[in-house]
Structure 1
Amino acid sequence: MDDWQWRAWVGHPAGGKLGAAFLVTATRLLTCAHTVHERDEAHVGFPGLREGLPARVVWRGGWRREGDTGDVAVLELDEPVPYAPARLAAPDDLHERTAAGRTFGVCGFPRRHDQNERHAAVTTSPYRGMRQEWWELKTGAGEWLEEGFSGSAVYDTSTGEVIGMVTNAELRHGDRAELGWMLPVTSLRAHWEELDDLLPLRWTTPGARRELRELLDGVRFTEPLGADLERAVGRPPLGEFRSAWASVRHVAEGFAEDRLARYVAALGRHLPEARRQRLSGWSARHLPGAAAGAGAPPRPEPASVIVRLERVTFDNAFDVTVHTWIDGAEGPSSPTVRVPERRVRAAVEAGVSALAPALFGHAWMIEFAVPESWLGKPFEQWYVDPRNKIPMRRYPVVVRDVERLRPDSIRRDQAHHRWKLLNARGRSDPHPIPCDEPRKGSDFQDWLEAHVDFCVLVYGSRPVKSRLTAALNNGIPVMLWTRTPCDAPSHGDCRGHRVLDELTAAVGDKHPGDLPQVALALRKEALVAPKDKPHCGRDLTLLWDDPSRLPDPPLAMEV
């Protein structure tokens, strides 16, 4: 907690307040571009501390008139002030911070005779966004926004952490407003990239990030660079990037470090020789293993048929789409078909059979991205060749949570963090969940949330719904279980414990990328094992959810 000394006003050099600002370094403040429009100089005051300090406008965004994006400006003081700058919230924490109607504070400087600041409580949410730029603000009962709040930080009143900046309000009721808009830190950083030097990001060190950002300053994001990004991460970007730095940040914050190393190496080919050498030196110092792996081919990525099933909200029907994933990018896919539940299997088998030839010659697998309630279906028993009744178990078969394929899914974001950790670790290190697991309901949820390093769970019996939901909500990317329940009256030496021990040992030191093949081998062993004895490969389900293998959603599923 701080003393809120970073809150400031912005005014004319000749006197009078125009709006608000907040301190982000000892000499720099953020405010709105419209507050200092057509001005190169301003005065800044810290209420009750120092007033009327001269400041220069050293950077402004693309805002020129009402409705424009980029309503951001940076002011620089002539001398540093002895106040702690505002602490900024991590961009990937915003969804969680704004959940459940949590309130935030804002502080403005309206034109009043007393010249004092005014405060208001507001709520906001990423789901109240507009044009991928602003989030809507709603004031509390009996509170309002008015002229003079532009440039105010939107901050957590319990921690002081800033999540955004007020830009404008819908003035009614005598120049007062109950509705306004802010730029979240995700938009602020998109416009003023130097803000990334100050954000609490989770990749590399602040000094290393700043060095890389400065090295890439002024480098545009081009179509050839977009093609390199797609090859590095396995899918095309969802939108355009404002700069090369923005694209690097996207890879660093959403994919494993080896993808970042691959992309940075490709980016170097687009730079002049001097910058290319500096970038190579940066990679050698800050991306462990990048230099050693530069000459070696990257770990091969398996090709796939990816079956996507989305439940329709009426008629007990499903939208079925079959994609292919080849050489780290989306290949041919089938049109989406809507079928009743009883015809899902036939539609899937027909779609897989039609697209399978595109993968011949590759090492390939079959991925089922399905609703949570379908994760335990025996998909390996379905047919890859219905005419000749050849089962899919001839190939590795895995399941995925279809919700994680949606770009706006919190589950997907959670899975990204754990998958990145799992790949960096390079081995599965599973955590066994026995069939008599004592934790129930919310206790299991809390246990997973507290252990962010848990990435692979192995169950001794089919997980009950509450445990499966808790694991998916916490982003667990890999889970294994046999679908046969353990119904032993005593669990000292039950079937579930024996299967759990075998399955844990089978995957313990394996690289996560090898687990589909491990599951394939276990299923084959189970085919010739005595039927009257349990085997960990019999009725085996493997949830293997690499978030980077993300084919574009069909148009029918985007809404």
Structure 2
Amino acid sequence: MDDWQWRAWVGRPGGGKVGAAFLVTPTRLLTCAHTVRGMDEARVGFPGLLEDLPARVVPCGGWRREGDFGDVAVLELKEAVPYSRARLAGPEDVYAGATSGRVFGACGFPRRPDENERYAKVTTSPHQRMRREWWELKTLPGYWLEEGYSGSAVYDEATGDVIGMVTNAELRDGDRGDLGWMIPLSRVRLYWEELDDHLPLGWLTAPARRELRELLDGVRFTDPLGRDLDEVTGRPRVEDLRSAWDSVRHVAEGWPEERLARYLGALARHLPDVPRSRLAAWSGRHLPVAVAREPARPEPASLIVRLERVTFDNAFDVTVHTWIDGAEGPSQKTERVPEKQVRPAVEAGVARSLPAVVGRDWMIEFAVPETWLGRPFEEWYVDRRNRIPMRRYPVVVRDVERLRPYSIRRDQARHRWRLLHERGRSDPQPVDCGAPRKGSAFQDWLEANDDYSVLVYGSRPMRSWLTAALNNGVPVMLWTRTACDVPAHGDCRGVMRELAAAVGGEHPGDLPRVALALRKKALTIPKDRPHCGRDLTLLWDDPSRLPDPPLGMEV
């Protein structure tokens, strides 16, 4: 280890040693934030090599007072030094070394007339931790910790590998103590993310990781990003994450590379245009799995309410399915009820199914007969006892016929849905009330344009238009249920243009959320003013979200 050249002392600008530090790059050292509290500049020395160098203090962990997390600071030298840097242990090696009963060393600079360094031998273990931030240090007989050890690297004397940094000690008689604490490198990296550039990590290459970290520098970890993360990993987080980079390494170090590719694809949607393009370019160079196909978007969970009309009887078979992580989850038993009892049966079935989706990003899908597509399902209750309407969540309708095996409508929908996703954006086709009234003309228009995948109507579509669109497999349609009664169709066109503008360019997977936002906006608009979110119906029919038909159901 070249005589352990990376060990250094830290002092005040006016003189006097106050702690320790260790060299991580040719110009940067790590120490404790409390060691350099109140300083903008400190002095640094490498014992026997080079003494009394000026260094800029860069607090990076948010530490303010004793007991705070993030007791980490970086010391930045004005010029590079030619000494060997500390060899840092990887996250897995930190745990393995500390649990094997090894003895570690620490080098401090306590107050002594000779002003020389002192050494302590300690043991530690990840099982002896406090508040998930610190690991306990115990000195061997004949050694102790005292003031001047803060910021010292805790290192394996046999290999030189650094596993953490001394932060404090429980001092007793003579200002010495045999009990102290360190912050492991796995926590230091939370507060100084650049440390990851120098750790021997097992994912990607060091240059690729550095480029990705720099690309995500300053990007916060938000609740929407958290929902994407939980969807990709399939499990809730145990701890809060501090940044987007923190979440990326969380995935990279716990799941296969394919999950990292999926998560970066989801993260890109939350970035502005320029960094989003840079991230896409980075993925193309370093994660081929991410560009072999469009990065998978985390699927929202769903309650899929299936209503099938019973032949020769004014009744319906009601089934509430769940759709979780791209597959069918637990479903409620099918219940046959009279038409007047459909709503109470649905609301009760939804209430029983809530435990499967609550806590996730979820929506409600009504797969219903064609004549029911315009019902105001968002006004039904997700919680009848507390009168909480379903419109608090994304609500869409689907053609129940497309859920049946061997349905031609479903086969047609697959084609247009694939084209829609390949484009990655919604290019809505407006249909105002002045369009050809005959269903055959509308049918011919759609058949001739088999890339039309999103239709926006000026008002409630005619039955013949709706049938033609379903027969041609149009997967997305939007309309307000307000009837148009103006001869010039000016108002309906205004609402239609507003609705088309709201969904134009949006990714098809985001349309249920767009509709939710429009419905909420409409609640703030005076009732006498038209708004495209009022009485809004969204038919959103993803043919891949296909729960199995209930047992015994006619097909």
Q: TM (normalized to structure 2)?
A: 0.54
Moved over 6 A (4+): 295-299, 328-333
Q: What is the identity, as a one-letter code, of the residue corresponding to 2:179?
A: L
Q: 1:100 Cα shift? A: 3.3
Larger Rg belongs to: 2
What is the DSSP-based 3-state SS (H/G/I as helix, E as strand, rest coil) of the residue aligned with 2:2? coil
Q: What is the identity, as a one-letter code, of the residue corresponding to 1:164?
A: G
- Is 1:39 paired with 2:39? yes
CA contact (8 A) 2:26 2:82 kept: yes
CA distance in 2, matches of 1:205, 1:12: 39
CA contact (8 A) 1:9 1:17 kept: yes
CA contact (8 A) 1:235 1:329 kept: no
Mapping for residues 141-290 of structure 1, pairs under 5 Å:
141-290=141-290
1:141/1:291 CA distance change after superposition, 3 Å: same
- Is 1:100 paired with 2:100? yes
Q: What is the identity, as a one-letter code, of the residue corresponding to 2:93?
A: D
CA distance in 1, matches of 2:273, 2:106: 48
Q: Equivalent pairs: percent with the same residue?
A: 70
CA distance in 1, matches of 2:168, 2:323: 45
Q: 1:237 Cα shift? A: 1.6
Which residue of the partner structure matches residue 136 of structure 2? 136
Q: 1:2 Cα shift? A: 3.5
Deviations 1:357-388 (A, max 9, x none): x99xxxxxxxxxxxxxxxxxxxxxxxxxxxxx
Which residue of the partner structure matches residue 21 of structure 1? 21
CA contact (8 A) 2:104 2:157 kept: yes
Q: CA RMSD in A?
A: 2.6
Q: What is the identity, as a one-letter code, of the residue corresponding to 1:107?
A: C
Mapping for residues 331-346 of structure 1, pairs under 5 Å:
none
Q: Which deviates the most, 248-257 or 222-231?
A: 222-231
Which residue of the partner structure matches residue 56 of structure 1? 56
Q: Give ranges in structure 2 of 5+ residues lacking alignment.
A: 300-321, 332-351, 358-555
Q: What is the identity, as a one-letter code, of the residue corresponding to 1:35?
A: T
CA contact (8 A) 1:233 1:328 kept: no
CA distance in 2, matches of 1:167, 1:325: 48
Mapping for residues 311-390 of structure 1, pairs under 5 Å:
326-327=324-325
What is the DSSP-based 3-state SS (H/G/I as helix, E as strand, rest coil) of the residue aligned with 2:4? coil
Which residue of the partner structure matches residue 498 of structure 2? none
Q: 1:261 Cα shift? A: 0.3
What is the DSSP-based 3-state SS (H/G/I as helix, E as strand, rest coil) of the residue aligned with 1:289? helix
1:58/1:223 CA distance change after superposition, 3 Å: same
Which residue of the partner structure matches residue 119 of structure 2? 119
CA distance in 2, matches of 1:297, 1:27: 41
CA distance in 1, matches of 2:232, 2:196: 23
Q: What is the identity, as a one-letter code, of the residue corresponding to 1:108?
A: G
Q: 1:289 Cα shift? A: 2.2
CA contact (8 A) 2:261 2:295 kept: no
1:298/1:224 CA distance change after superposition, 3 Å: closer
Q: TM (normalized to structure 1)?
A: 0.54
Q: 1:167 Cα shift? A: 0.4
1:155/1:329 CA distance change after superposition, 3 Å: farther
Which residue of the partner structure matches residue 469 of structure 1? none
CA distance in 1, matches of 2:103, 2:263: 40
1:277/1:141 CA distance change after superposition, 3 Å: same
What is the DSSP-based 3-state SS (H/G/I as helix, E as strand, rest coil) of the residue aligned with 1:127? strand
Q: What is the identity, as a one-letter code, of the residue corresponding to 2:14?
A: A
CA distance in 2, matches of 1:200, 1:273: 32
CA distance in 2, matches of 1:87, 1:6: 9
Q: What is the identity, as a one-letter code, of the residue corresponding to 1:327?
A: D
Q: 1:325 Cα shift? A: 10
CA contact (8 A) 1:8 1:21 kept: yes
CA distance in 2, matches of 1:57, 1:325: 52
What is the DSSP-based 3-state SS (H/G/I as helix, E as strand, rest coil) of the residue aligned with 1:231? helix
Mapping for residues 517-556 of structure 1, pairs under 5 Å:
none
1:327/1:177 CA distance change after superposition, 3 Å: same
CA contact (8 A) 1:233 1:259 kept: yes
Q: 1:328 Cα shift? A: 6.5
Q: Which deviates the most, 259-268 or 99-108?
A: 99-108
Which residue of the partner structure matches residue 535 of structure 2? none
What is the DSSP-based 3-state SS (H/G/I as helix, E as strand, rest coil) of the residue aligned with 2:70? coil
1:328/1:37 CA distance change after superposition, 3 Å: farther
CA contact (8 A) 2:58 2:75 kept: yes
CA distance in 2, matches of 1:111, 1:332: 67
Q: What is the identity, as a one-letter code, of the residue corresponding to 1:183?
A: I
CA distance in 2, matches of 1:32, 1:267: 33
CA distance in 1, matches of 2:238, 2:33: 28
CA distance in 1, matches of 2:59, 2:207: 22
Q: What is the identity, as a one-letter code, of the residue corresponding to 1:116?
A: N
CA contact (8 A) 1:103 1:122 kept: yes
Q: What is the identity, as a one-letter code, of the residue corresponding to 1:69?
A: F
CA contact (8 A) 2:265 2:295 kept: no
CA contact (8 A) 2:168 2:182 kept: yes
CA contact (8 A) 1:2 1:160 kept: no
Q: What is the identity, as a one-letter code, of the residue corresponding to 1:52?
A: D
Q: What is the identity, as a one-letter code, of the residue corresponding to 2:182?
A: M
Q: 1:59 Cα shift? A: 3.4
1:328/1:189 CA distance change after superposition, 3 Å: farther
What is the DSSP-based 3-state SS (H/G/I as helix, E as strand, rest coil) of the residue aligned with 2:165? strand
CA contact (8 A) 2:29 2:74 kept: yes
What is the DSSP-based 3-state SS (H/G/I as helix, E as strand, rest coil) of the residue aligned with 1:43? strand
Deviations 1:118-172 (A, max 9, x none): 0010000000011110000000011100000000000010111100000000000
Which residue of the partner structure matches residue 529 of structure 1? none
Q: What is the identity, as a one-letter code, of the residue corresponding to 2:63?
A: W
Q: Give ranges in structure 1 of 5+ residues lacking alignment.
A: 300-323, 334-353, 360-559
Number of residue pairs aligned between Structure 1 and Structure 2: 315
Q: What is the identity, as a one-letter code, of the residue corresponding to 1:249?
A: R
Q: 1:58 Cα shift? A: 2.6
Which residue of the partner structure matches residue 394 of structure 2? none
CA distance in 2, matches of 1:297, 1:209: 23
Q: What is the identity, as a one-letter code, of the residue corresponding to 1:129?
A: R
Mapping for residues 467-546 of structure 1, pairs under 5 Å:
none
CA contact (8 A) 2:231 2:298 kept: no
What is the DSSP-based 3-state SS (H/G/I as helix, E as strand, rest coil) of the residue aligned with 1:69? coil
